[in-house]
Structure 1
Amino acid sequence: MDVFACAGCGTELTAPVSRVALPVHTHHGGWEELHPPLMEPATYAVDPLPTGPPWRLWQEVGADEAARRGVFAPVYSVSFGARNRIVIAPGDSRSMTLIPDRCEGYCQGVDGRDGPNLACERCGRAVATRMDDCGMWQTVWVEPEAVVRRPSGLPAGPSPDWDDLGRAEHRVPPVEPDGSWSRRWEAAVGVALAHLVAVTEDRPVHLPAGPVAELLGHAVGRCLPTGPGARSLGLAGPGIHLPRPRPDVLLVPRHPRTGEPWRPPDDEGPVVPLDSGVWAYLAHPGEISPVPATGVLPEGVLRDDYPLPPRPWYPLTPHPRAFHDTLVRLPAVRTPRLRRFRDAYHGETD
């Protein structure tokens, strides 16, 4: 495990934390809602792309400079913030104090619009940004140039690996306790859909029967056409058999620690990466249709009136910003076919 310390005076600014993959829903929440912390306790992640202020308009930046910052299609503004910012849960921050004149927000918290709003308690150096306004996951973003990483001296627990995807606690249900669709699912579907559009180049896609078609069918139907020549999509990953023959595109999990997509051995075909918790639910949804039992029910046996999984009255819809922001960061968006798709998509949503 590691701790991050102030580069100016050496004060430890975080609890001991271990690195995991950056969640795909990091920058995509539900508007006018307060969210829980993005990161699990004692973990951190790194965003390799520029994030946060300062922002510059696309017209001022130009296509070449935007591409160097990971944006390959026109957007309103491009971030010129730091790369490799470190995100932790607010509860894992230590020895930081708010900078009062940098605590602007929209309505219910602070949104980081003025840059770092947390300073080292000891030397006053601006070191991080607290963000917790409505529509944002609660986070503390540590500036990479303001800190140094040190071993904590504590033994690290086992690193999350592919085996963790089979655990029931790793699965993320698609429905929140209040009966609405999971915000994490909405963002994950938006990100995966952008990758699907890119690898199929806006061609029809045939989904496999079962949870994939039931939960993702509406989202795919909104963005991709129907008709002949459809590409086949199959669910694949650790612990489940690879469909034969291999589908044209595989829907696979991201590694919970590195974020890299799973691939079958010696396979270079197209894959669409999906949030590992969302993938785990699709691959291992759990018991939903128990066999009726008679007499006294043994411990652990489910009743035959076991309720069906909850579903909102409206279909699961991808987070629009997650879809758009992911698509413009894929180099494939510059191809003529996807440029036409993007123009048509904007025409429908503007």
Structure 2
Amino acid sequence: MEILACAHCGAALTGPVTRVRFPPYANHPVGNGHPMPVLMDAGTYAVDPEPSGGPWRPWADLAEGEAEARGYYAPVAGVRDGRVGRLLCAPGDATGTVLVPERADGTCCGITGDNLSCASCLRPVGGRDDGCSIWQAARFDPRAVRTVPAGPDRPPADWTELVHDRSGPLPVSERGRWNERCTQETTLALAHLIAAADGHPVRIEHGHATALLGPELARRLGTATATGPAKRCALHGPDLPLVGPRPDLALVPLHPQTGEVWPAPPGVRAVPLHVEVWRHLAFHDERPAVRAGRLLRAELARDDPQPLHRGYWLWVDHRLMRDVLARHPAVRRPGVRAVYDVLLRGYDH
């Protein structure tokens, strides 16, 4: 574990925190005017491996070969040239900081900007994000903070614990709405699934996963873009081995702390999916909802987990999907590029 400390005076800016996987969607706004939850779990922090913040350079201004050197394989609107290595934690963990309203940027919906200072020396150290459609987080400038050892890390959860964890909320509420983290993680998996299929149609062979992911795959890999025979995809992971003929692709769980991916058998291409979503798809009880009068609703609400409400489709963040594909080498292949070009034009196919 580490403490994030002020690089100038050495005062602690956080309590002990453990480094975990960086959420790839941390810098992506979600929707428009949407109130967002906290990005990082309490007691954790992550380091952004990419430039974040301004300045912003249009794609046309990049030198030849610069885009690919930075990991872009298809055109995007522009790239960030901000600082690399920003550190993120939950706002509640930034106990050694003070908010400076005079430095708070933002709009009518909240605050952003470099608005946090060290509570001891008042030097600027980062910013508190709390605006519409952006993840709530405390972000630290890597030049203004340093990590100080604070004892051994907590051992990461093992796969058995993760798969059978029932302590947190389900990805889907009893009203059928997916939480923001799971929609983003599912969007990541769908983008990687499209890339792994090389633009071929994908047939998911698992009832619950088929119902939720199938419509989006059918839209993205429809007759206008997809070519060749369909790729078979199954769920595979702890307590869910592959049975029967081997599929072409397998949705496997991704460890939320370490970023470890559950291995697929030889000849099967693994596509990682956050374990919180994976276990919901793999083990969710497919009990049909029962019509009942008002007097029985309290008894029905005791079911755990709740039967899935079928009134909502999975919302997919197409801007995030587009950006993930732009940074995937597979986008240089015709089938995947056709999907990307539709997303780039900004309308649904």
TM-score by length of 2: 0.85
2:293 corresponds in structure 1 to none
Alignment partner of 1:323: what SS?
helix
- Output aligned runs, 1:186-265, within 5 Å: 186-225=183-222, 229-264=229-264
- Aligned equivalents of 1:14 and 1:332: distance in 2? 40
Among 312, 315, 324, the alignment partner of 1:317 is 315
- Aligned equivalents of 1:308 and 1:4: distance in 2? 40
Q: 2:156·2:258 contact (CA, 8 Å) conserved in 1? A: no
Alignment partner of 1:168: what SS?
coil
Note closer, same or farther for the CA distance 1:348–1:140 as it changes in structure 2 (3 Å cut).
Answer: closer
Superimposed CA distance per residue, residues 17-36 of structure 1 (whole angstroms, 9 cap, x where no aligned partner)? 11222235433534312222
Query: Shift of the alpha carbon at 1:12?
Result: 0.8
- Aligned equivalents of 1:306 and 1:128: distance in 2? 41
Note closer, same or farther for the CA distance 1:130–1:64 as it changes in structure 2 (3 Å cut).
Answer: farther
- Aligned equivalents of 1:111 and 1:285: distance in 2? 38
Please provide the CA RMSD for this pair. Answer: 3.0
- Matched residue count: 335
Among 110, 120, 131, the alignment partner of 2:118 is 120
Alignment partner of 2:84: what SS?
coil
Q: Does 1:160 align with 2:157?
A: yes
1:151 corresponds in structure 2 to 149
Alignment partner of 1:148: what SS?
strand
Q: Does 1:331 align with 2:329?
A: yes
Superimposed CA distance per residue, residues 230-276 of structure 1 (whole angstroms, 9 cap, x where no aligned partner)? 000011112221234221011111122221322136x3642211112
- Output aligned runs, 1:38-187, within 5 Å: 38-62=39-63, 64-112=65-113, 116-153=114-151, 156-169=153-166, 173-176=170-173, 179-187=176-184
Q: Does 1:282 align with 2:294?
A: no
- Aligned equivalents of 2:116 and 2:234: distance in 1? 46
Q: 1:164·1:170 contact (CA, 8 Å) conserved in 2? A: no
The amino acid of 2:160's aligned partner reads D
Superimposed CA distance per residue, residues 33-72 of structure 1 (whole angstroms, 9 cap, x where no aligned partner)? 2222111111112222222222211111246223333332
- Aligned equivalents of 2:257 and 2:102: distance in 1? 36
- Aligned equivalents of 1:224 and 1:182: distance in 2? 25
TM-score by length of 1: 0.85
Q: 1:3·1:14 contact (CA, 8 Å) conserved in 2? A: yes
Q: Does 1:3 align with 2:19?
A: no
- Aligned equivalents of 1:307 and 1:3: distance in 2? 37
Q: Does 1:340 align with 2:327?
A: no
Superimposed CA distance per residue, residues 277-316 of structure 1 (whole angstroms, 9 cap, x where no aligned partner)? 11121122257479xxxxxxxxxxx99x999723253421
- Aligned equivalents of 1:137 and 1:345: distance in 2? 23
Q: Which runs of 5+ in 2 are unaligned?
A: 290-299
Q: Which runs of 5+ in 1 are unaligned?
A: 291-301
- Aligned equivalents of 1:203 and 1:44: distance in 2? 38
Q: 2:177·2:312 contact (CA, 8 Å) conserved in 1? A: no
